[in-house]
Structure 1
């Protein structure tokens, strides 16, 4: 092999190595991007779930509050009826 041929072969090998390195870097970057996307999706899902749980808790609290209000109203109505009955009984 002549010196020129050796140099050409060496250059070709170096180019091949560079291409391989570039390909590896690209693959690594793609993997990193995929991982980041997965993490983002997981975070979004977690946030969504948290929001749903908060909403459910809020609804539950509102329902309990409504029950309490209804109970208070009923109690008040019973008391009013008792007073009326007492007043009516007292008149008689």
Structure 2
């Protein structure tokens, strides 16, 4: 595996961990309150989780077809998502 794909995969895995934590928190909120908002947040977080699963597998399996020129952009998107998820987690825990 090329180092670029490894870096992108690690970012996706970290995003999945954070999303798993968020899904768990929203699940507990939904069980306690039966409100619709946590249920909607579970759906949104689950779709983002699926996006990262597919991306992570793509980075592992299609290493040969990724060009080096696109790596900074893909890494930027992954890091931007990571930053957003960390802020979202911080807000959720407050």
| TM-score, normalization by structure 1 | 0.34
Q: Which has the higher helix share?
A: 1
Max Rg structure: 1
| TM-score, normalization by structure 2 | 0.33
